[in-house]
Structure 1
């Protein structure tokens, strides 16, 4: 365990309310060989001052872009950190959660059980959902989890603030080739690359208090209840946007990795990615039958295919954006 350097990458934006608490939870980690790199994404509040205060107090904390603060968006911000920092392993931190004291230690132990020196590995954990005051005991994932590439393509269950990745995974992310407008969030992209070329490993332990306060970039996962399904049928705008995100990220994976992807994975990204160029309702129906959208229920698979048929123009318009 000695000398395993863990880089913790945090992106902040107007996070003054909870940032101090989050940094304190990292400082209190039972594993000490970490370095926290914080990149501010153009905050207008006291966030930069809070970062500077902690950087002066602890040499393991660096204000990554102190002299070059500008807004890039959350995905570019995290990927910029990851591409420029060197360590043995890498973790991602939001600005408003609270890490349990063994988060780094237990994630690292899980990583060291794997063939991490030669295989791309992504370890992720469960989360405990809490309110703004850190009260709550609900567990987010439980056994509602999947790690195969096709399922992750259609629905990501790997939450960035629980991830630990190794150098072998970082080496194949191709930062300089990614069109960041197409991949939505860094954790989804990283999880897909890990699933395709290595392994995604789950630690069924809540290592983080996942704060829900109304301003989260990504919040709690919805479960497949009847009420939620009815809501999805009657409120299709977010469902249509998710469909476009799937097609965009599939196209980007096809552009960068192409036939280097394993057989079935390549078939999915190639055929779904090509929906931005061609397709019609009948074509999309045939695709949904030949390569079914990998949702967790038959209803979900049918619903995604239904959206591809009904809103075919949404997909073809992606190429024009």
Structure 2
């Protein structure tokens, strides 16, 4: 049976240090029918010349997507620009500084082929092995701490873009021309919500990517709900407020495109939380948090989100 064509979409920005290592890991995949499209977002280092050299060496496998029009548009629009203009049966996203295990594409495609991928939006995603800049480290990012229902994904995305494989049905559901990308924090979050609401999300617990994190104290830094982490959250609320604004923004934008196709509580969540961009106030937000409880993974998280949107309700107006 012929392999399905997989388009791999990579966005780069000043990535010369690790780019070759990532591309080599893609070239060495056990799955053969892939094509890598690389869009550079205005790099100032040697990244563009490196992409040109790879395209010269492997013209049938690698394309410098925007070599005649290099400009900075931001990571979300960069990925979505490629996604909207490239055609394949399945699509994957790639960061510029990770390393893919050799069977990443093969195992992801096999999981997709076991689904009804011609009928509804499907997202396959995997776990990640967290490593430092030297690819050292054995801890995994997610393990069993994964949620796929729409309401939990709305308040906290757990699907990492560089682990995803998605089908054509997902692409057909996206209005690329009219999305307000400033209200969509990341492309993987938007795609995950579409699949959670209208299709299916499948998780492969095996880590199929070396997820490079930079800095000396990265491994373990993502662990949640430790005493230290909770104290930090309570005393450093700017990042939490920023996340709250992103949740409300993406709820409003999702409601605009898909609200009339939804029903039940999922519809209520995107509509009621999305409306806070125009109607946020202390009492109203408190009542909303009690009626449609923010779906976080812990009771503390639910209470904390409600606290943020009531106390900092002015953050939400005019988003």
TM superposition score normalised by structure 2: 0.97
Structure 1 residue runs of 4 or more that deviate by more than 3 Å after TM superposition: 219-222
Return the alpha-carbon distance in structure 2 between the equivalents of residues 23 and 228 of structure 1. Answer: 35
Q: Which residue is equivalent to 1:180?
A: 181
Q: Spell out the pairing of 1:119-268 with structure 2 (5 A cutoff).
A: 119-214=120-215, 221-268=222-269
Q: What secondary structure, in the 3-state scheme, does the structure 2 residue paired with 1:306 have? A: helix
**Does structure 1 residue 6 correspond to structure 2 residue 3?**
no
CA apart distance, 1:214: 4.5
Q: What root-mean-square deviation, in Å, do the aligned CA atoms of Structure 1 and Structure 2 show?
A: 1.3
How far did 1:256 drift? 1.3
Q: Equivalent residue of 1:277, what SS? A: helix
* C-alpha displacement of 1:203: 0.7
Aligned to 1:15: 15
* CA distance in structure 2 between the partners assigned to 1:250 and 1:143 by the alignment: 26
- Tell me how far apart the structure 2 counterparts of residues 177 and 23 of structure 1 sit (CA, whole Å): 32
List per-residue Cα deviations over 1:274-317 (Å, max 9, x = no partner): 00111311111110111110000000000000001100110114
1:245-283 residue CA offsets vs partner (Å, 9 max, x unmatched): 000000000111122123221110100000011131111
Q: Which residue of 2 aligns with 1:303?
A: 304
- Residue 317 of structure 2 aligns to a residue whose secondary structure is helix
Per the alignment, residue 53 of structure 1 pairs with 53
- Once residues 42 and 261 of structure 1 are traced to their aligned partners in structure 2, the CA distance between those partners, rounded to angstroms, is 39
Are the equivalent residues in 2 in contact too, given 1:9–1:36 (CA < 8 A)? yes
Mapped to 2, the partners of 1:201 and 1:165 lie a distance apart of: 10
Q: Could you tell me whether the CA contact under 8 Å between 1:129 and 1:212 is conserved in 2?
A: yes
For the structure 1 residues 220 and 24, does the alpha-carbon distance in structure 2 shift closer, same or farther, using more than 3 Å as the test?
farther
Unaligned runs of 5+ in 1: none
The alignment of Structure 1 onto Structure 2 pairs a total of residues equal to 315
1:77 Cα deviation from its structure 2 partner: 0.1
Q: Which residue of 2 aligns with 1:292?
A: 293
Matched, 1:32 2:32: yes
**How many Å apart are 1:172 and its aligned residue?**
0.1
What TM-score comes out, normalization by structure 1 length? 0.96
